[in-house]
Copies of this chain bind each other. A is one copy, B any other.
Amino acid sequence: MAEDKVFTISELAAMFDISSRTIRYYEEIGMLTSENRDSLTKQRSYSNGERRRLKMILRGKKLGFSLQEIKEMIDLYESNPEGESEKSRIISFADSKLREIEEQIMQLQMLREDILTYKEKYENSRVKT
């Protein structure tokens, strides 16, 4: 597979409909890395790994998490914990995030129901054409 394709910053930006500045900002705060920069031109290039990472960040944003929260979650994904206490810490962090997410899902389902109810109220009051 052509899994070794690399992208320029503007390709990546266009791909997700964000600005290059946003990508640089994510690097600035340590959420993305740009290794393999051209040693002469200093231009950034991104692998499929970084592309996936960016995709995760944007998913998190759409779900209403802050960049800090997203960073913690991604660190969770990419951590390789040494020792039992480290593992326990990660597992309990995961558990608390899971509870938070499940709570959000429930609330969203309630909101959905609410909107559906109000919508139907209007639909049933429509004049037959």
Contacts and interface: CB of A to CB of B under 8 A. Distances in A.
Interface of A: 59-60, 62-65, 73, 76-77, 81, 84, 87, 90-91, 94-95, 97-98, 101-102, 104-105, 107-109, 111-112, 114-116, 118-119, 122-123, 125-127
Contacts of A95: 119
Contacts of A60: 111
Nearest to A111: B101
Given A94-B119, A101-B108, A101-B115, 18 more contacts: A59-B111, A60-B111, A62-B64, A62-B107, A63-B108, A63-B111, A73-B115, A77-B118, A84-B127, A87-B125, A91-B123, A94-B115, A94-B118, A95-B119, A97-B115, A98-B112, A105-B108, A105-B109
